[in-house]
Structure 1
């Protein structure tokens, strides 16, 4: 299989690189709303959206050009995206399942970088086992009233809207009777966001409490009780191009670790050298696999991808401590203004990568999906 990019892709790469070289130096390090609006103004949001239902202010790009943009964005050291949930998860879901009115209302502001989104899936007791959702939504005329709690909600403090799963039929269990709702976050007294302090010292995730929060019935995506199908469709958009872009950051971390190992002489240890080579070879294999499965409908591809990269990144964090040796056990200067105690990028890599095999579906859940849906093995007994 040919994994190279064509002439049109390289032309697109030159355009993307020129834009990034011009704008990244002046971008705020943490990204944020202003950076999202800058991306939107020049059409860099929503490159991969299906244009069957029309354009929404964004430029179009082929699948390989989307990979090119993501790679160049990562290589340029551009700020983290605060609009990626709306762009890469909500938008494709509305294009696939939304009404014309929903697409016209919500997609243009996402494309302009003006409205940010968060995802309300996980709950206490319903993380990887998403079908155990207990948040309820009761239809009252033309409005749903939502009560419950979501957890591990990225970007909830900055989001204007949240898409969530709620149980709208009281007499149902598991994946039956769930609905996919679009909820405005600006509801003081009805929605409370509490940051979760992680062992890195940062608060990338939040708890969100809904106490009679409102969602318009016209903002339900799909039929009442059909939310599970919509939610599973959304999860299929969660990986793919984003996995390839993520690997650029992984490659940068690995290259830095190799340089440290060579500079300190730890690369002379045959065991450490073997582990470094293995990490490099596995990263190359993951890239080829991600390219091979771009656009695939294979139900196991997203789970296999998540399983591979999460295990790989956790091992990289462990290897980083080994390569850095004793200094890695001591505190240095804080690596960001958000950390209340000294921590450097090596510490952060090790600590945060512990969560890689949990968020987005645990490794155990991914193995079950591969076994049951791909290999056709007997289903694990459910309680």
Structure 2
């Protein structure tokens, strides 16, 4: 495992750090987690700033180590994460870039990078979560359209999304992992109903999505009909690959905030609290080394 950064990577870090120091003071106040329209505007505004500065593409075509540096520096500076844009930037966008036609890439990728459109993920269903291949949402071919009927659940950002990366069953007679197709569905299409799911914290980040005879153009199919499981594995390779690094980097900030709060509240001398923080810090250091190993392996491959 090579943990050393190259001169080019250190130059990228310095340039990014300098830009963040200038850009972050220009951000408006962050809206409440309960204000999803406000969160959408805030998150997409940040994405536009990244685009204009040349950093919007980091999650797509930069090396794994460069992405790690980007996440380290933005988290350390207190910059927003991708937020409402995460499905487009980390899931749908890379999938379309890898599997889509040139026309599909031209249509969908620039608006994602410019922070103009939000995507949500229509994968999980009430009876198809961890066993994703058991999904039942049906799509029948009708001329130049698929007619989609079914429901999805735990759909992130559906309330504010423009598009949905949607898995449907196009051949119910085929074995589970076959007969699935990957579609890009406009959330404004007739027959789409979004019912937000309110969390204990009051957020409506997740939603149920009900689809009643929704017409989706065949031109919006990414990959071949009934080859959606393979395309889905491409999507999940991006989601499960190094996308977790952002959460790991955020752990460092949270641990620092916990320690700082303990000192400010006069709890730093509490042996139970310090023992707990010490254990968490040890676990984080192990997780950080594992993260570096994963990034190093991804770099080598």
Normalised to the residue count of structure 1, the TM-score between the two structures is 0.70
2:217 matches 1:176: no
Deviations 1:167-210 (A, max 9, x none): 011223522211111111112x4111111111112211111111
Going from structure 1 to structure 2, the CA distance change for 1:150 and 1:39 (only over 3 Å counts) comes to same
Shift of 1:102: 1.7
Residue in 1 aligned with 2:35? Answer: none
- SS of residue matched to 1:242: coil
2:205 matches 1:204: yes
Shift of 1:268: 4.2
Contact 2:120 2:163 in 1 (8 A): yes
Report the Cα distance in structure 1 between the residues aligned to 2:296 and 2:230, rounded to whole angstroms: 19
Report the Cα distance in structure 1 between the residues aligned to 2:136 and 2:145, rounded to whole angstroms: 19
Residue in 2 aligned with 1:136? Answer: 138
Deviations 1:318-352 (A, max 9, x none): xxxxxxxxxxxxxxxxxxxxxxxxxxxxxxxxxxx
- SS of residue matched to 1:238: helix
Q: Which moved more, 1:88-97 or 1:133-142?
A: 88-97
Shift of 1:148: 1.0
Residue in 1 aligned with 2:225? Answer: 224
Contact 2:2 2:296 in 1 (8 A): no
Normalised to the residue count of structure 2, the TM-score between the two structures is 0.87
Report the Cα distance in structure 1 between the residues aligned to 2:50 and 2:214, rounded to whole angstroms: 32
- SS of residue matched to 1:122: coil
Contact 1:71 1:244 in 2 (8 A): no
State how many pairs are aligned. 286
Contact 2:100 2:223 in 1 (8 A): yes
Shift of 1:42: 2.5
Shift of 1:87: 1.4
Please give the residue correspondences for 1:1-383 in structure 2 after superposition, counting only pairs within 5 Å: 1-28=1-28, 29=30, 30=39, 31-50=42-61, 61-81=62-82, 82-187=84-189, 189-264=190-265, 266-294=267-295, 296=297
Contact 1:39 1:113 in 2 (8 A): no
Contact 2:120 2:158 in 1 (8 A): yes
Shift of 1:39: 2.2
| Larger RCO, structures 1/2 (Cα 8 Å, 6+ apart) | 2
